[in-house]
Amino acid sequence: MTKQSAKTSSANYRKTSGGKRMAQDAGSAFVPVEPFEIVVFGGTGDLARRKLIPSLYHRFCDGQISKKSRIIGASRSKLTRDEYLAKIKEAYQSFNPEVTLSDTKWNAFCELLDYVAIDVTSSKDWSELGKKLDASKKLIRVFYLAMPPALFANICQGLKAAGLAHKQSRVVLEKPLGHDFKSADEINEAVGQVFSEKRIYRIDHFLGKETVQNLLVLRFGNVLLEPLWNRDSIEHIEITVAESIGAGGRGSYYDKSGALRDMVQNHLLQLLCLTMMEAPGSTAADDLRLEKIKVLRALAPITAENVEEATVRGQYVKGKVDGEMAPDYLTDVELEESDAETYVAIHAKVDNWRWQGVPIYIRTGKRMRTRRSEIIIQFKPVPHSIFGEGTPVNPNKLVIRLQPDEAVNLWMEIKEPGAGGLRLKTLPLNLSYADNFTVRYPDAYERLLMDVVRGNLSLFMRRDEVEAAWTWCDGILNAWEEVGQAVSYYPAGSDGPTGAERMLAQQGDEWSDVK
Ligand code: BG6
């Protein structure tokens, strides 16, 4: 880097009316992607209506998607194109009540849209889909499988038999990718018979979140943190993804899954990898993924011998969330009984030189007190306090808040001003997104969908990465079964079962407050 480029370029900043310098809306210049066609299997499903179609609409509005592109919803329902358009418009409006839909833009977007009714378990309807696709085969072709993974093999075989998966085509696999290593392996095998690894995009939408991508920049775009980022300076690490919503509405999926499969196997382990991996050579897909896999493989196995001290399973019962009474899990998912965990806390360890002896506490739960995702790096105390016993010195803490109120706070000790003795105060150096940026944060799917079209695999998981994550989680699942570890109950609106506090207390630690 030249000295010149190391200086802050004033061109990148603007002054607000209050005179405060704010980063210019760097995201406002969108580079259009090449024309493409995307078939969304599960086109009438929740994900398509809530996330995928709205994301494509937003990219279209920003001029990133050309009018030559096509978006084809595919599902079993016998709908006409007009009925499909009406359905997704209604969904857009109900999921985005704050947006006033521009008729002109929405109608222009609808020009790209089409619908095909297809039963993916039969061999019949594939030619109908074929008729909707670009016969010249010039467009980039994307198949998005937003359907239960049990159908992935059928879809891939159907595409192959109908000759629809051409050289330019790629497939996006939505989670859950199996329910254990074996089933994930079977899915990967079946998909791999039709698409080569470089054309398979295994999605984890957390990787598309702005603040999750910022982890890479924070760690590898600053020289300050790296010398401290290890067992010598870090006491422990906490990763929390707390949700205030319950599991209602998706009971049939959720009850078979539970929090470990639904959240830890993918989202939390990805956060853990990005926090703990070595610096990759570049952001190229395989450089990044290789470093993540090394972390997954270094995770100390949790077995029947230590599962009870290293994990806590919980399930919510009724309680108040945001002042409103929320029902218990069984009522939410309309079941008489269930042992599914809606909360899990784990004391994990990464067995390598950098992290030896550093506890990593991860937890996630539904119907928690509030929605909050954060990564906390708890530094060690100063080796010796020069201020005397009556003046406590709090250790530094780095809080990376992923959502909501995205921010990075480095809590430091400073002298409280004033006469009458020396008093220390712990205050944050605050890098708040809201204070510094005025851009709209794109939904994670917006970024990821455009990356699929661009052919950028960096934010998608490689087969061995998914399988390494399953190997570790299978160990926990098997151990739970072996020792018969039941769920502990926690009231909705709380911080989870008290056992999770005891688990940390045994190590002399405590969870940071999730407020
Ligand atoms: C999904 C899980 O992958 O992620 C859900 O299946 C969870 O259970 C969701 O609620 C959380 O994602 P976000 O983006 O809302 O934080």
pLDDT digits over 463-475, tens only?
999 999 999 999 9
Q: Which atom of ligand 1 is nearest to the CA of 403?
A: 16
Q: For ligand 1, atom 6, which residue shows the shortest CA distance?
A: 262
pLDDT on residue 26: 45
pLDDT on residue 28: 53
Would you say 341 and 311 are in contact if contact means Cβ atoms under 8 Å apart? no
Q: Kindly tell me if the per-residue pLDDT of 92 is higher than 90.
A: yes
Please indicate whether the domains covering 17-174 and 207-505 agree at the CATH topology level: no
Distance 450 CA to ligand 1 centre (A): 20
Q: Please, which residues have CB within 8 angstroms of residue 20's CB and are 6 or more apart in sequence?
A: none
Q: Kindly tell me if the per-residue pLDDT of 274 is higher than 90.
A: yes
Torsion, CA 6, CA 9, CA 13, CA 19, rounded to 10:
100
What is the CATH class of 207-505?
Answer: alpha beta
pLDDT on residue 390: 87
Q: Which atom of ligand 1 is nearest to the CA of 373?
A: 16
Catalytic residue among 179, 267, 347, 384: 267
| Ligand 1 pocket mutation pick from 262, 368, 406 by most atoms within 8 angstroms of CB | 262
Instruction: Give one DSSP letter per residue of 112-148, joined into a string.
Output: TEEEEE--TTSSSTHHHHHHHS-TT--SEEEEEE-S-
Compute the average pLDDT of residues 55-75. Answer: 96
Would you say 70 and 109 are in contact if contact means Cβ atoms under 8 Å apart? no
Distance 255 CA to ligand 1 centre (A): 15
pLDDT on residue 322: 87
60 vs 16: which has the higher pLDDT? 60
Q: Which tens digit of pLDDT belongs to each residue from 16-44?
A: 333 444 444 444 568 999 999 999 999 99
**Which band of pLDDT confidence, cut at 50, 70 and 90, is reported for residue 514?**
low
pLDDT on residue 440: 80
pLDDT on residue 57: 97
Tokens 């493409």 — which residue?
36
Q: Kindly tell me if the per-residue pLDDT of 283 is higher than 90.
A: yes
Phi, psi of 424 (to 5 degrees): -100, 150
- Percent pLDDT > 90 in the chain is 84
pLDDT on residue 114: 98
Q: Kindly tell me if the per-residue pLDDT of 425 is higher than 70.
A: yes
Q: For ligand 1, atom 7, which residue shows the shortest CA distance?
A: 263
Q: Which atom of ligand 1 is nearest to the CA of 267?
A: 3
pLDDT on residue 168: 79
Q: Which atom of ligand 1 is nearest to the CA of 204?
A: 3
Distance 199 CA to ligand 1 centre (A): 25
Q: Kindly tell me if the per-residue pLDDT of 9 is higher than 90.
A: no
Q: Kindly tell me if the per-residue pLDDT of 327 is higher than 80.
A: yes
Q: Which tens digit of pLDDT belongs to each residue from 146-186?
A: 999 999 999 999 999 999 998 879 999 998 899 999 999 99
Would you say 30 and 453 are in contact if contact means Cβ atoms under 8 Å apart? no
| Ligand 1 pocket mutation pick from 179, 203, 263 by most atoms within 8 angstroms of CB | 263
pLDDT on residue 111: 97
pLDDT on residue 63: 95
Compute the average pLDDT of residues 446-453. Answer: 97
Q: Kindly tell me if the per-residue pLDDT of 1 is higher than 70.
A: no
Domain boundaries, the chain: 17-174, 207-505
Q: Kindly tell me if the per-residue pLDDT of 436 is higher than 70.
A: yes
Q: Which atom of ligand 1 is nearest to the CA of 206?
A: 14
Distance 146 CA to ligand 1 centre (A): 14
pLDDT on residue 112: 98
Task: Give the H or E element holding residue 451.
Answer: helix 444-454
Distance 166 CA to ligand 1 centre (A): 32
Q: The whole model's pTM is what?
A: 0.93
Q: Which residues line ligand 1 (CB under 6 A)?
A: 175, 243, 262
Q: For ligand 1, atom 9, which residue shows the shortest CA distance?
A: 263
Distance 13 CA to ligand 1 centre (A): 34
Distance 368 CA to ligand 1 centre (A): 14
Let me know if 267 is a catalytic residue. yes
| Ligand 1 pocket mutation pick from 47, 50, 179, 267 by most atoms within 8 angstroms of CB | 267
Q: Kindly tell me if the per-residue pLDDT of 205 is higher than 60.
A: yes
pLDDT on residue 417: 93
**Which band of pLDDT confidence, cut at 50, 70 and 90, is reported for residue 296?**
very high
| Ligand 1 pocket mutation pick from 174, 177, 204, 205 by most atoms within 8 angstroms of CB | 205
15 vs 107: which has the higher pLDDT? 107
CATH architecture observed for domain 17-174: 3-Layer(aba) Sandwich (3.40)
Compute the average pLDDT of residues 301-310. Answer: 98
pLDDT on residue 98: 87
pLDDT on residue 285: 96
DSSP character at residue 106: H
pLDDT on residue 24: 41
Q: Which residues pair with 40 in a beta bridge?
A: 73, 144
Distance (Å, whole) CA 428 – CA 410 = 5
